[in-house]
Structure formats: C-alpha cells, structure tokens
C-alpha cells in the first residue's frame, strides 16, 4: 500500500544525523594536519573551514596546535 511508505521528508536525515561525531571530527582534523605537515591554513582549506574555525575545534577537542620549527 503506497500510503504506508515513508515520504521523502521522513527519510531525509536531520542535521544532527549528518553531523560527524567527536571521534570522526578528531580523525578528520588529525588526517588533514598530517597530510599538510601541520600547516593549519592548508588543513583548514582541506576541511572546508576557516583557519580560525580549525583552531577553535583544535582547542575544543584538546588537540595540540602544530607549531613552526
């Protein structure tokens, strides 16, 4: 019976369901930093966020900011 099928709206994931978990976010950030040799500007670009947002997330997740040597 077609009336028992869920609608598109009912099947569409919510924003919360699409948001990555803290562990997924940490893994993505760490991978981006590793692939850019710690370059925060480039890592932010890869992640599609501003450098300031990346720094905020590093602080939020307790990830040490890479420093120039």
Q: What is the mean pLDDT of residues 13-24?
A: 87
Query: pLDDT class for 6, splitting at 50, 70, 90?
Result: confident
Count Cβ atoms below 10 Å from residue 33 Cβ, excluding itself.
Answer: 23
Specify the pTM.
0.74
Cβ-in-10-Å burial (0-12, 13-18, 19+) of 54 comes to: buried
pLDDT at 3 over 80: no
């Amino acid at each position: 019976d077609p009336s028992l099928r869920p609608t598109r709206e009912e099947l569409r994931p919510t924003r919360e369901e699409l948001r990555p978990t803290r562990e997924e976010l940490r893994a993505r950030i760490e991978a981006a930093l590793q692939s850019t040799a710690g370059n925060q500007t480039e890592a932010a670009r890869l992640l599609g966020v501003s450098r300031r947002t990346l720094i905020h997330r590093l602080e939020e997740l307790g990830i040490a900011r890479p420093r120039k040597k």
